[in-house]
């Protein structure tokens, strides 16, 4: 099986290589392309260990470093956005889309257009480009397999011939590190506190998004695109143990859930082996040790991200791209110390109010909305800093 891994140097990328190794390594998989951005030493090491044909950094300034790190290995080195997109569309059977943020949309689209099966960790593709992205996959005759743990869980428990009977899609949320914090305390939260996820080990940006519940907001939009249907409810419930990864409620009152340890290798392995379940060395649940599973309603006053995502779903069009673009700009500002934790949601809300929900007529319109949302967010962030 020929595969490529976009974002190999990240948390999902590393777990993907581990799963590839567990499921047979080079005897079963031919790794074509691996890509990263700034972590060149890791990119080169992963390219060598996986036997990739080409390693690409999207950062053109890192070309010389990558070239020299790969000297004598026979692995091709390339750099820049266009090289990344070219590598993404090299013919393979399966592509892991694990670049963080909207930066992943264009290369994942290029991979989708090549007809490969897309294992989608990058939720921003669906949040920002939704049906246009799904149409690109359908047009190429490809398959989309959700890797985000909630969506992978729902995909696992959706009974294929019972579509008519699905009443509820129930996303679980850990509640993040600030689940029990007051709003006043959250206002002064540091980047390290926000990035300290209580259950999952993930990249910095998604970890902070979990703390603000923007991650769950993005996942609501992602779920609406993947599983939404008229009359079907989309719910979020806080479940601090992160053992139930999400649930589906049916018309006979049954609720089916997928449970597991908080380890993304299960979702990645499922997408790599689909439709057969693989044998994976991940920690098994010990129910006696767990002893209890808790649930609570999310607090939309302390976490406005859920309300904003609900508004984006209701408004449709480019609202997902606008929400995500403003959120990415605000998140970068928070990480750089240019705004407070709670400012992120207020900046996103203002940008959404200003831009409304223009129709999503093309991918160019998606990219333009993303750029405009970032620009508007920058203006609000500058006002906050003044």
Ligand X SMILES: CC(=O)[C@@H](O)[C@H](O)COP(=O)(O)O
Ligand Y SMILES: NC(=O)C1=CN([C@@H]2O[C@H](COP(=O)(O)OP(=O)(O)OC[C@H]3O[C@@H](n4cnc5c(N)ncnc54)[C@H](OP(=O)(O)O)[C@@H]3O)[C@@H](O)[C@H]2O)C=CC1
Binding residues for ligand Y, rule: CB under 6 A, are 7-13, 36-39, 43, 58, 98-100, 103, 121-124, 148-149, 200, 202-203, 205-206, 264
DSSP track, 40-83: HHHHHHHHHHHT-SEEEES-GGGHHHHHHHTTTTT-EEEESHHH
Residue 46 or 152: which CB sits closer to ligand X? 152
Residue 86 or 263: which CB sits closer to ligand X? 263
How do 255-259 and 233-238 pair as beta strands? Answer: unpaired
Which partner, Mn ion, ligand X, ligand Y, none, binds residue 210 by CB below 5 to 8 Å per kind?
A: ligand X
Write out the two tokens for 242: 């992160």
- Does the footprint of ligand X cover residue 13 (CB under 6 A)? no
Residue 148 or 224: which CB sits closer to ligand Y? 148
User: At its nearest, how many Å lie between ligand X and the CB of residue 222?
Assistant: 10
The alpha-helical segments, DSSP class H, found in the chain are 11-22, 40-50, 63-69, 81-88, 105-113, 124-139, 149-157, 183-187, 191-195, 204-212, 214-227, 265-273, 287-290, 305-315, 319-335, 343-355, 363-385
Write out the two tokens for 123: 């939720």
User: At its nearest, how many Å lie between ligand Y and the CB of residue 59?
Assistant: 7
User: At its nearest, how many Å lie between Mn ion and the CB of residue 104?
Assistant: 15
Which partner, ligand Y, Mn ion, ligand X, none, binds residue 121 by CB below 5 to 8 Å per kind?
A: ligand Y
Binding track over 179-218 against ligand X, x by CB under 6 A: ---------------------x-----x---x----xx--
Asked if residue 275 has a cis previous peptide bond (ω within 30° of 0), the answer is: yes
Phi, psi (deg, nearest 5) at residue 124: -65, -25
Q: How far apart are CA 218 and CA 213, in angstroms?
A: 9
Residue 327 or 380: which CB sits closer to ligand Y? 327
Tell me which residues touch ligand X (CB under 6 A): 148-150, 173-174, 176, 200, 206, 210, 215-216, 264
Tell me which residues touch Mn ion (CB under 5 A): 148-150
């Amino acid at each position: 099986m020929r595969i490529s891994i976009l974002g190999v140097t990240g948390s999902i990328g590393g777990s993907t290589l581990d799963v590839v190794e567990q499921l047979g390594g080079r005897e079963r998989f031919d790794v074509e392309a691996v890509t990263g951005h700034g972590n060149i030493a890791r990119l080169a090491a992963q390219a060598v260990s996986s036997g990739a044909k080409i390693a690409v950094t999207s950062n053109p300034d890192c070309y010389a470093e990558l070239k020299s790190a790969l000297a004598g290995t026979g692995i091709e080195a390339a750099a820049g956005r266009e090289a990344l997109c070219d590598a993404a569309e090299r013919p393979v059977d399966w592509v892991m889309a694990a670049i963080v943020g909207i930066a992943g949309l264009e290369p994942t689209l290029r991979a989708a257009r090549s007809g490969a099966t897309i294992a989608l960790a990058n939720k921003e593709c669906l949040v920002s480009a939704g049906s246009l992205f799904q149409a690109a996959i359908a047009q190429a005759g490809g398959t989309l397999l959700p890797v985000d743990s909630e969506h992978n869980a729902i995909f696992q428990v959706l009974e294929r011939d019972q579509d008519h009977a699905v009443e509820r899609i129930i996303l679980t949320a850990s509640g993040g590190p600030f689940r029990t914090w007051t709003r006043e305390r959250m206002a002064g939260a540091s980047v390290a506190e926000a990035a300290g996820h209580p259950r999952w080990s993930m990249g910095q940006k998604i970890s902070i998004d979990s703390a603000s519940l923007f991650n769950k907001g993005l996942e609501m939009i992602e779920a609406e695109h993947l599983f939404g249907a008229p009359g079907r409810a989309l719910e979020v419930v806080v479940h601090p143990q992160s053992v139930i990864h999400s649930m589906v409620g049916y018309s006979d009152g049954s609720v089916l859930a997928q449970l597991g340890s908080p380890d993304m290798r299960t979702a990645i392995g499922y997408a790599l082996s689909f439709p057969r379940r693989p044998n994976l060395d991940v920690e098994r649940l010990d129910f006696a040790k767990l002893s209890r599973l808790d649930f609570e309603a999310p607090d939309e006053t302390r976490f406005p991200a859920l309300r904003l995502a609900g508004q984006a779903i209701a408004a449709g069009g480019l609202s997902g791209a606008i929400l995500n673009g403003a959120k990415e700009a605000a998140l970068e500002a928070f990480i750089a110390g240019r705004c407070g934790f709670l400012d992120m949601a207020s900046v996103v809300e203002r940008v959404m109010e200003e831009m409304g929900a223009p129709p999503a007529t093309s991918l160019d319109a998606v990219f333009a909305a993303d750029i405009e949302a970032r620009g508007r967010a920058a203006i609000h962030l500058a006002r906050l800093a003044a």
